Chain A
Amino acid sequence: MDNESLNEPARLEINNISVGYGNVPVLQDVSFDVQHGSRIAIVGPNGAGKSTLFKALVGLLPLMEGEIYIHSLPLGHHLDCVAYVPQRGEVDWKFPATVADVVMMGRFGKMGWLAAPKRKDWDVVHKSLNQMGIEDLANKHISDLSGGQQQRVFLARALAQQPHIFLMDEPFTGVDSTTQEATLYLLDHLQEEMVTVLISTHDLNLAATRFDNILLLNRRIYGYGKASEIFTTDILSKAFGSHVLAIEDASLLVDDCCPPGDEHDEHKEGH
């Protein structure tokens, strides 16, 4: 990280935003603040609008209402300080590119329109690959990777962007344990660098143990705070409805991860 990023508060303010596809809002009246360098897990049932929130945060979806401020400036004023790690299925892995090519794409925001990659850019790329434990794959073609390796390529690319805010959409879904370990290690590293991290996940244990705050989302915010305050039978039942089974004092939540036709597919026709 360069020095300026440490002096600037990486604070994210979301004020009463409504976002959706076409004229149909998926998220309504969502407001929350994220402190500099904190780690937020976004949980909620399928179709809750977790990916929609991320797409609004990177400016992919226009806001119907409300504002998003990053470092107290409206969204779009900081050109490259948000990195987004999408779900792996969103790109064509048969594209003619090597692992290093893809990670280098993360540098394009910091390079001139015409400029070729410089020594410094290659250094950042190799450091990012190294951090994700895939430096030996640098010259491999991306179609030859396993799912977990693809995920780590995306994480390395986001690292190469040197962002202040790091968004990850379901990084723990359908990956091998090596990738899960690498992702958790990355979370620790990002915390040391004071990078703000928001991830969406269906793994509630991980959300409770590895993150500072939980944002419980289902079209609107059902709760935002420490895991102990959010993961109560009362609040969970409201957000997840019939998926929560209350057994006397304890409650059991079945949060199925991504059955066919989850929220990411449902909204595809709107693109």
Chain B
Amino acid sequence: MNWLLEPFQYGFMLRGLLASLLVGVLCAVMGTYVVVRGMAFLGDAMAHAILPGVAVSYLLGANLLVGALVAAIVVALGIGFFSKGGMVKEDTAIGILFAAALALGVAMISSINTYAVDLSHILFGDVLGVSSGDLWLTGGLGLVVLLVVAINFKQFMVISFDPVLAATLRLPAKFLRNLMLVLLAVTVVISLQTVGVGLSVAMLITPAATAYLLTRRLFSMMVISALIGAVSSLIGLYASFFFNIVSGSAIVLTATFIFIIVFLFNPRKGILVSGQ
């Protein structure tokens, strides 16, 4: 049993574990909406769009998470602004803004002399570099996101399944949609620490997509997804410690492995189970 506890005698490993679990659960919960609403592209775009915010806060010496959060929310609202009224399709608006923000971010970071190390941390995460300040911020934001989801669970379900019913029920659909985008932005920013810009979309969609294969009700999908997210984070972190792999990659590969297993063997329509 000792080897199980061995990694966590170090403070940075324990902080890393807590951050990974939090990100695993949070991404999986918001990822449920991403999967059922078909917003994977938006989630990916948001992760990349964070870059200029990170660069600006780096230049100003401010907290990177705060800068990232501001950038993500600006981009989320910008997508809404350009696609409003049907002049530009939503996925087109996403593509334009996401590429522009990424280009701006890379341009800014490339002008910073010591960029090399930091850029790789932003792109692929640096779970062992989580400070206790980061952990408190992550934990606080994470709790807020989960609380908002719990409060609006029914309403989010209706706007995701049937926007027309939402209008008939006089739900504030526009407000709820924007709220969901902001929650998604916060989640992506938090995931920056453990899996980085490049891989955060995987933490959003892989556990949720796996859960979708196992259940067909929104709430249980969310719970199973959160469980898979947490387990992937835990196993991934161990793999990262013992095999000396980048933590973000290890976590994402674990989640992918679980997805493949469930895809092949799930009782509903697993390929190997039904014998097709």
Q: Which residues of A contact B (CB under 8 A)?
A: 21-22, 55, 58-60, 76, 79-80, 82-84, 86, 90-92, 95-98, 101-102, 105-106, 108-109, 111, 113-114, 141, 143, 157, 161, 269-271
User: Who on chain B is nearest to A21 by CB?
Assistant: B86
User: Who on chain B is nearest to A117 by CB?
Assistant: B154
Can you list 11 A-B pairs, Cβ within 8 angstroms, ordered by A? A76-B170, A80-B168, A82-B168, A83-B168, A95-B218, A96-B218, A96-B221, A101-B217, A105-B165, A109-B170, A271-B86
User: Who on chain A is nearest to B217 by CB?
Assistant: A96
Q: Is B158 an interface residue (CB 8 A)?
A: yes
CB distance from B79 to the nearest CB of A (A): 16
Q: What total of chain B residues lie within 8 Å of the partner, measured CB to CB?
A: 26
Interface centre among A59, A79, A96, by most chain B C-beta atoms within 10 angstroms, is: A96
B interface, over-half SS: helix
Q: Is B161 an interface residue (CB 8 A)?
A: yes
Q: Is the CB of A109 within 8 A of B169?
A: yes
Q: Is the CB of A80 within 8 A of B170?
A: yes
Q: Which residues of A contact B119 (CB under 8 A)?
A: none
Q: Is B151 an interface residue (CB 8 A)?
A: yes
Q: Is the CB of A96 within 8 A of B169?
A: no
Q: Is the CB of B161 within 8 A of A102?
A: yes
Q: Is B275 an interface residue (CB 8 A)?
A: no
A92-B161 in contact given A22-B85, A97-B216, A113-B155 (Cβ < 8 Å): yes
Q: Is the CB of B168 within 8 A of A96?
A: no
Q: Is the CB of B168 within 8 A of A105?
A: no
User: Who on chain A is nearest to B162 by CB?
Assistant: A91
Given contacts A58-B167, A84-B164, A92-B161, 6 further A-B contacts (CB under 8 A): A22-B85, A22-B86, A59-B170, A86-B164, A91-B162, A108-B169
User: Who on chain A is nearest to B38 by CB?
Assistant: A92
Bitwise interface map of B from 202 to 240 toward A, beta carbon under 8 Å scored 1, else 0: 000000000010011110010000000000000000000
Q: Is B36 an interface residue (CB 8 A)?
A: yes
Complex Cα distance A111/B169, Å?
Answer: 11
User: Who on chain B is nearest to A90 by CB?
Assistant: B164
Q: Is B157 an interface residue (CB 8 A)?
A: yes
Residues of chain B in range 26-47 having any CB-CB distance to chain A below 8 Å: 36, 38
Q: Is the CB of A58 within 8 A of B168?
A: yes
Q: Is the CB of B161 within 8 A of A84?
A: no
